[in-house]
């Protein structure tokens, strides 16, 4: 699971959970992979990202490096910044661990890089 995917996931599917966002990450295996850097794609994705959530997630995994906590208004021209964002969004992958609902602590297991969001009937 990439942090881009984590940025999009909520546990509001559990009965009684209001926002369920962001999910906490408990990772036992994080891998770094190589993805071709495409600054135009990263620039297109940034407006879709909840920056604060991305930054906190990267930090919690120890991979924020020096990614700024705030989004600079002129990021489009800043290649270094786009590269760091690319790395955090696409190259940091949680292979094993759990996503944890911030309201109920319900755990969603991540196995082989795939989060499992399925709920039991009584949780819906």
Partner 1 sequence: MHPTPDISHLTSADYEDVYEPAEDSFLFLDALEQEKDKLHALRPSVCLEIGSGSGVVSTFLSSLLSHPAFFICTDINPRANAVTKLTAKKNGMDVEALTTDLCLGLLPRLQGQVDVVLFNPPYVVTPSHEVAQGGIEASWAGGERGREVMDRLFPIIPELLSPKGVFYLIIIKENDSDDISRIFADFGFSMESVLSRRSGPEFLSVLKFFRNKDVS
Name the site residues for partner 1 (rule: CB under 8 A): 1-2, 4-5, 7-13, 21, 35-36, 38, 40-41, 44-45, 48, 50, 90, 111-119
Residue 51 beta carbon to partner 1: minimum distance, rounded to whole angstroms: 13
Residue 32 beta carbon to partner 1: minimum distance, rounded to whole angstroms: 14
35: how many CB neighbours lie within 10 A of its CB? 13
Which are the contacts of 36, defined by CB distance < 8 A and separation ≥ 6?
none
96: how many CB neighbours lie within 10 A of its CB? 16
DSSP 10-76: --TTSTT-S---SPEEEEEEEEE------HHHHHHHGGGS-HHHHHHHHHHTT--TT--SS--TTGG
Residue 118 beta carbon to partner 1: minimum distance, rounded to whole angstroms: 6
In terms of CB distance, is 7 or 66 closer to partner 1? 7
In terms of CB distance, is 66 or 122 closer to partner 1? 122
In terms of CB distance, is 44 or 66 closer to partner 1? 44
Residue 114 beta carbon to partner 1: minimum distance, rounded to whole angstroms: 5
């Amino acid at each position: 699971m990439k942090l881009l995917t984590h940025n999009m996931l909520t546990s509001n599917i559990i009965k009684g959970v209001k926002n369920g966002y962001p999910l906490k990450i408990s990772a036992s295996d994080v891998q770094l992979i190589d993805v071709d850097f495409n600054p135009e794609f990263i620039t297109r994705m940034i407006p879709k990202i909840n920056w604060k959530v991305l930054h906190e997630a990267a930090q919690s995994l120890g991979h924020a490096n020096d990614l700024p906590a705030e989004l600079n208004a002129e990021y489009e021209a800043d290649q270094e910044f786009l590269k760091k964002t690319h790395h955090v969004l696409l190259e940091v992958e949680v292979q094993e661990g759990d996503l944890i609902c911030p309201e109920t602590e319900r755990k969603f297991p991540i196995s082989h890089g795939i989060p499992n969001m399925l709920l039991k009937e009584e949780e819906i």
